[in-house]
Amino acid sequence: MTTERRNESSKRVQAGGKLSFFERYLTIWVILCIVAGISLGRTFPGVAEALDAMSIYQVSVPIAICLFFMMYPIMVKIDFSQARQAAQTPKPVVLTLVVNWLIKPFTMVAFAQFFLGWLFRPLLEGTEIIRGVEVSLTNSYIAGAILLGIAPCTAMVLMWGYLSFSNQGHTLVMVAINSLAMLFLYAPLGGWLLSANDLIVPWETIVLSVLVYVGLPLLAGAISRTWILRYKGKVWFDQVFLKYLSPVAIAALLITLVLLFAFKGDLIVENPFHILLIAVPLFIQTNFIFLITYVAAQKLKLVYEDAAPAALIGASNHFEVAIATSVTLFGLNSGAALATVVGVLIEVPVMLMLVEVCKRTAFWFPREPEKATLPDPRCLKTYSATR
């Protein structure tokens, strides 16, 4: 095989072109931000507490601002005609709904019960008082894991789809449908799985988080995209506007992580061994759901640009809602709240790993790269060569 053919073959292996230095080592920056956030919370607890107190129905205003700047650069790149086309292709949406609501909650219960309720139980001795009732730490941790398992991601998955060169129009449709499903299914499913008829779900938190994390940047992106294309043209939009906007999304992601771990860092520092044990079923669950969804997408003959977001949205969790619900139900310093915070701790590095898996296995699927929203328009030429 000639060198030219080998190079052409290698192009077909991975989705997308070369990432920038900043994007290539994103996992390292994520880890550094987690450390920085925990250090900030421990060194300046007053600042962290003051920022954390700035919330509306437990939706943090500083986090909401950061998430807006994380989501807007992604939303403004979406060609909304793709979203209309995606709605006419139901396979990825049905696959996501089946995985998120008929498979994922029950596998989370199974993994949590096996590891936390049985295998690790001797290592998790202790109790806590919740609503005047003594509850074992094990059951509290399992409750937090369940709250994570029934909260499908509605915001961060757009970042994962963006980094994996996926069809963002389809991702947006799946996010919208899952957001609506969560409004109606989160409370009854959570109540059933937790065996608690009096489960109190903060509806205001769910509605407001969906509006702030998805609705507001979506509206801003649609309006500004239409205005720019009409008055500045597509060339200026691609070559000037997006050039300066592209780093904003990832920078906002990193700042969000610093704030999250500044707010909840004490729970992590005070329970390092328990965190490790809680992380085991969460890590396995994330990879398991990704694997079965990705394989199912291949069997359904989905194109890569639809298969990747279907698998990623199934694997990731809406940890903001899970944390808010656990705090409302069990208290800020409860084991359940700690379990949801561990979900944040492992999700970002694991999802970055799965994004890389998607890109490197893109050749398993048929390709429609023209549907993808690229992190950097300069990647377009290299990316199109993968067809």
Domain count, the chain: 1
Choose the most confident range, by mean pLDDT, from 28-42, 144-158, 234-248, 286-300: 286-300
Please say if the pLDDT value at position 196 is more than 70: no
Tell the residue number behind the tokens 């771990």, with chain if given: 261
| Residues forming a β-bridge with 128 | 135
The percentage of residues in the chain with a pLDDT greater than 70, rounded to a whole number, is 74
Q: How far apart are CA 379 and CA 359, in angstroms?
A: 14
Q: Is residue 228 part of a domain?
A: yes
- Asked whether the predicted pLDDT for residue 294 surpasses 90, the reply is yes
More confident residue, 155 or 379: 155
Is 214 domain-assigned?
A: yes
Least confident of 13-27, 60-74, 315-329: 13-27
Question: How far is the C-alpha of 79 from the C-alpha of 77, rounded, in Å?
Answer: 6
The alpha-helical segments, DSSP class H, found in 271-334 are 272-299, 304-315, 319-330
Domain with 104 in it = 80-243+271-377
Q: What angle do CA 99, 102, 107 make, to 5 degrees?
A: 80
What band does 379 get if pLDDT is binned at 50, 70 and 90? very low
Cα dihedral 108/180/206/195 (nearest 10): -40
Is position 332 within any domain?
yes
- Mapping DSSP to helix (H, G, I), strand (E, B) and coil, where does residue 166 land? coil
71, part of any domain: no
Please state, in angstroms and as integers, the Cα–Cα distance from residue 83 to each residue in 69, 89, 104, 372, following that order.
21, 10, 25, 12
The CATH number of the domain holding residue 189 is 1.20.1530.20
The answer to whether position 35 is within a domain reads no
Pick from 105, 163, 56, 55: nearest CA to 317: 105
Q: Which two tokens stand for residue 328?
A: 């409302």
Per-residue pLDDT of 103-150, as tens digits, reads 999 999 999 999 998 999 888 877 777 666 777 888 889 988 998 888
Q: Say if 319 falls within a structural domain.
A: yes
Residue 80: helix, strand or coil by DSSP? helix
Residue 307 three-state SS: helix
* Assigned domain for 53 exists: no
Helix (H/G/I), strand (E/B), else coil: 302: coil
CA angle 29, 286, 341 (to 5 degrees): 60
d(CA 218, CA 216): 5
Burial letters 171-199, b for 16+ CB under 10 A, else e: bbbbbbbbbebbeebbbebbeebbeeeeb
> Is residue 288 scored above 90 in pLDDT?
yes
